[in-house]
A and B are shown apart, each in its own frame.
Chain A
């Protein structure tokens, strides 16, 4: 029996859905540790040093060592913390990261199986709905840590996420209007003739900038700001709970890159036979993640007031203008 809840574009038998959820989950989870070592090696190269190269051949086993180290640490909480909320915080962050993977399309329907977790009619609103739950993960973990640094980091992240979520949504609206659908699968299919990155270049750039802010990545990593806030909301966390923040950061990066790929870079489309579709999707996502790492190695952190004025005075009007112009063009043509 398939779920009667809400309307979906295409639904299979329950066991197929379970199997494909597990496959998508495992693939993404295999990618995350690889990403950590790739990021460290790349940043090493950008900074003219080697990066990790001791564990395994050319340092490739580094993530295994990291995971074992994090998993082996004692789980403790500071005496000033609120234990239950302190434990819920990282869980919420991970939860929102994992649930949003479900709507990334890795291919069209083939042999009765859709190559995506679920094709909901509300489409990208699903991403924003679960993404907004990630706020609470950060806010709760910062507040429940009972530490000033954590609290300040959490407050910064809340303000930052609210400010940039609006620009992010507006940036996608142009592509949504051109495709005439909210569903990611239909949006990718609508890009058969031209990828939306060309007509929607402004939307793409705004989305990527807002994406850096939403994932708390440099140059918008003020909530963590090692120099002033000693990692912000993560200060009091250690062991697996700290690891889950790290995991969530990479998951969010993957999801934001995936959404950008589906909306602007033609999703799974690429030359070659049909079974290459998921590979193309993953290759494009990894290319965008490379941009994330590149930007981190290139740009210094913004000041807090610069961050706010960039979000509200630059990105928001630009995104609104982009939506207006696109709307006029869509109606005229």
Chain B
């Protein structure tokens, strides 16, 4: 059972990661990335890290990737590349990739492989459960945790400030200012959606 789950997760994760790079259409790349992230969550489950697995799906698989998909569905499909190629890119990329591979190999060989032949450490009770993770975060790693949350808060405030500044930049600019107001103004001119009980929604009932 564990083996089946492991290989299903591993194939999903590797295949997804390869497909992200290989596919030309950004929409499909994002879909492949979703497959990759969900397979990773499956691998976390095998490692008894069910909270991390759930957080992985809710945060990355759910919220973050929906935004990616959102954006790539809107702007995707354009034929011209959105970036400019750096000169010598084709030569440089494999070299850098090889360097990274060697670096990671050294790190893995130097530390992790010793545990592969053994049974692995015994798990303390409640390992990976939300309760034990909460205790670790709020007692042992409190300072790190608070620092990370401050960083996130600053990023969120920064995003709001940047968005607000663009709105002030003046009406008429593309995609920014006054659009929310404009949109709601335009909508106000339309007749409001039919309340239930009018012929429109009655007809929908009949259709069902």
The residues of B that contact A161 with a CB separation of less than 8 Å are 66
The residues of A that contact B110 with a CB separation of less than 8 Å are none
Say yes or no for A21: interface residue by CB 8 A criterion: no
Say yes or no for B164: interface residue by CB 8 A criterion: no
The residues of A that contact B192 with a CB separation of less than 8 Å are 300, 303
A17-46 toward B: CB 8 Å interface, digit per residue (1/0)? 000000000000000000010001001101
Inter-chain contact B57/A158, CB cutoff 8 Å: no
Q: In the assembly, what is the distance between CA of A32 and CA of B180, in Å?
A: 40
Interface residues of B, dominant DSSP: helix
The residues of A that contact B200 with a CB separation of less than 8 Å are 226-227
Interface residues on A, range: 35 or more
Q: In the assembly, what is the distance between CA of A303 and CA of B184, in Å?
A: 9
Q: In the assembly, what is the distance between CA of A313 and CA of B112, in Å?
A: 48
Interface residues of A, dominant DSSP: helix
Inter-chain contact B196/A5, CB cutoff 8 Å: no
| B46 vs chain A, min Cβ distance (A) | 6
Q: In chain B between 61 and 94, which residues have their CB closer than 8 angstroms to a CB of chain A?
A: 61-63, 66-67, 69-70, 73-74
Inter-chain contact B196/A297, CB cutoff 8 Å: yes
Taking CB as reference atom, which chain A residue is nearest B27? A143
Q: In chain A between 147 and 204, which residues have their CB closer than 8 angstroms to a CB of chain B?
A: 151, 154-155, 158-159, 161-162, 165, 182
Say yes or no for A332: interface residue by CB 8 A criterion: no
Inter-chain contact B50/A136, CB cutoff 8 Å: no
Q: In chain A between 117 and 161, which residues have their CB closer than 8 angstroms to a CB of chain B?
A: 120-123, 125-126, 128-130, 132-133, 135-136, 139-140, 143, 151, 154-155, 158-159, 161
Q: Contacts A5-B5, A121-B129, A162-B66; is A47 near B53 (CB within 8 Å)? A: no
Q: In the assembly, what is the distance between CA of A130 and CA of B58, in Å?
A: 8
12 A-B residue pairs with CB within 8 Å = A3-B1, A6-B48, A7-B126, A7-B128, A44-B205, A123-B130, A126-B54, A129-B41, A132-B63, A155-B73, A225-B193, A304-B187
